[in-house]
Structure 1
Amino acid sequence: MERFKAVVFDMDGLMIDTERLYFEVERVIARDFGKEVKDETLWKMMGRKPIEAITVFAEDLGLDISPEELLGIRDNLFVKKLVNEVEAMPGLSDILNSLKGKLKMGIATGSPSKFLKIVLDKLNIGGYFDIFVTSDEVQKGKPDPEVYNIAAMRLQVLPSECIVLEDSSNGALAAVKAGCYTIAVPSVYTDKQDFSFVNYIARDLRDAAQKIGELINRE
C-alpha cells in the first residue's frame, strides 16, 4: 500500500456551506424567468466549472439567454451572499488542525479564484494549505479528473498518494478517476446522490478526520 502524503479538499459544500447559497440564488433566478428548477438539475450542476454548470441550468430550464450572461447574473447575486453569509462546515477547524504538519494539504475547487479568495479571507484558513486549484485553471470541470491531477502534480505527489474529501457525486467521481483515495462527506444537499464507488462515506468532517488518522497511522 502506498503511503499517503497529501489530502485535497473540495471547497463548496465540503469546507463551507455554499450549496445552500447556490441553491437559493439559482431558485431566485429561475423564478425571475418564470420557471421552477428541480433538485435534479441543481445536483447535476454541482462541482462543475461555472460555465458548464450554468449551461446545464439554462438547458434544463429552456432559457433563451447566453450562458455567459446568465453566469454574470448568478455571480453578482452569489458574491453578495458569500461575503455576508459564508460559514465553515461543522468540524472544519478540527480536521485542519488534526492534519496540519502531518500531510501536505490543498484545495481543488470548481469555483473561480475570486470566490476562493473571499472564503480564505473570511475564514482566515489560507495558511493551512500548500496549493490551490480553481476552475480558472482547468479545461474540464468535475467529474473530469483534471483538477485532481493538477493538484497532485502541484503537491509533488502521485494521485494514489492523495486522500480527497468531496461532498458531491461529480466531485467524488473526479477524484476516483484520478486514482485518489476518495472520502465522500455528503451534505443535506447531496446525501441522495450516488457514492457507491468511493472508498469511504463519512458522516461529517470529524468522522473523515478520524478515518484519515486511521489511514496514516496504519501505514
Structure 2
Amino acid sequence: MPVQAIVFDLDGVLIDSEPVWEDVRRAYVAEHGGRWLPDTQDRLMGMSTLEWAAYIANDLVDGVTSEDVAYEVVDRMSQRYQDGLPLLPGAEAAVRRMAEYRPLGLSSSSPRALIDLVLGQLRVDGLFRATVSTEEVDRGKPAPDGYLTVAAQLDVPARTCVAIEDSANGLRSAHAAEMTVIAVPRPAHPPADDALALAAHIADDLDEITPELVEVIHR
C-alpha cells in the first residue's frame, strides 16, 4: 500500500531536548536528596509523564508524589523552552517538506503542554493533523499505543505510515505499530543495536528525510 502519512517523534528528532530533560530531572533529584542511577536516563527515554514521574517518586526520591514530580519538572521544562528552543538542524525544513508530501502526525513522550509549546514556537502546529502525547494513551514507548492512536486520528492504517524516530524505545514503538521506521540517531544517546536493526533506513540528519527516500524504503 502507498504511504499515507508521515509521523514524527519530537524529542531527539525535531528538538535536542534529551540533554535538557536530563539536566532538569537531575537537578530535581539532587535538590530533593535523591539518587541518580547509572541507567536512569536510558530508562526514562520514551516513558510517558505518568511513568517517569512515578519512577522518580518511587525509585529515586523519597517523600514526594508522582504528581509533585510531574508538575515541577514540566514547569521547569516549559521555562527552559521559553528561554530558547533547542531546535535540531533541518527540523523546520523537514516538517514543511514532508507536509507538502503527505499528512503529518506526531507521537511524543512529552506532555501535551510541551508539545503544543514547541510546535507553536516553531510555527508548524498547523501542519500536523494529529498529535498524541503518551500521557494520553495507556502505555508509553516502547509500546505501540501512541503511534497506533496517531494513525487512528489520521484515519489511515498504521502500516501505511512512515515514522521518524531516534531512540531505542521510539524505534521499538513505531515498529510494533507496523510502521516503516526511519532512524535519525542522536550521538549522545545512540539506540541499542537491536532497536536500530528495526529501522528501514538510518539517516545521518533530517536533511535526508525526503519524499524520495520514503518512496524507496516503504515497500
> What does residue range 122-161 of structure 1 map to in structure 2 within 5 Å?
122-161=121-160
CA 1:19 to 1:39, structure 2 compared with 1: closer, same or farther past 3 Å?
farther
Amino acid of the residue matched to residue 111 of structure 1? S
- For 1:76 and 1:98, locate their aligned partners in 2 and report how far apart those are by CA, in whole Å: 32
Distance in 1 between the 2:20 and 2:177 partners? 29
Stretch moving more, 47-56 or 28-37: 28-37
- In structure 1, what is the equivalent of residue 64 of structure 2? 65
Residue 196 (structure 1) aligned with residue 197 (structure 2): yes
Residues in 2 aligned to 1:60 and 1:192: alpha-carbon distance in whole angstroms: 24
Aligned residues with identical type, % of pairs: 27
Name stretches of at least 5 consecutive residues in structure 2 with no aligned partner: none
CA RMSD of aligned residues (A): 2.0
Q: Which consecutive unaligned segments of at least 5 residues does structure 1 have? A: none
2:15 aligns to what? 16
Aligned AA for 1:42? Q
Instruction: Give a deviation string over 1:74-105, Cα, whole Å, max 9, x none.
Output: 12221111211213211112212322221111
Q: CA 1:80/1:148 → structure 2, altered by over 3 Å: closer, same or farther?
A: same
1:36, CA displacement in angstroms?
4.6
Task: Report if the CA contact (8 A) 1:42-1:57 is conserved.
Answer: no
Q: Which amino acid aligns with 1:24?
A: D
Find the aligned partners of 1:192 and 1:169 in 2 and give their Cα distance.
Answer: 4
Distance 1:39 1:167 in 2: 21
Distance 1:113 1:58 in 2: 21
Contact residue 19 and residue 189 of structure 1 kept, 8 A? no
Q: 1:200 to 1:38 in 2, by over 3 A?
A: farther
Inter-partner Cα distance in structure 2 for 1:192 and 1:96: 23
Q: Say if 2:137 and 2:146, in contact at 8 Å, map to a contact too.
A: yes
CA contact (8 A) 2:56 2:69 kept: no
Report deviation, 1:29: 1.2
- Counterparts of 1:39 and 1:110, CA distance in 2: 21
CA distance 1:173–1:14, shift in 2 (3 Å)? same
In the alignment, the residues of structure 1 paired with residue 215 and residue 51 of structure 2 have an alpha-carbon distance, to the nearest angstrom, of 36
Alpha-carbon distance, 1:166 to partner: 1.1
- Whole-Å separation in 2 of the counterparts to 1:54 and 1:193: 24
Paired residues in the alignment total 216
Q: SS at the partner of 1:130?
A: strand
Q: Name the residue aligned to 1:4.
A: 3
Range with greater deviation from structure 2 (36-45 or 7-16): 36-45
Q: Distance in 1 between matches of 2:172 and 2:2?
A: 22
The equivalent residue for 1:104 is 103
* Aligned partner of residue 198 in structure 1, secondary structure: coil
- The answer to whether residue 164 in structure 2 is matched with residue 165 in structure 1 is yes
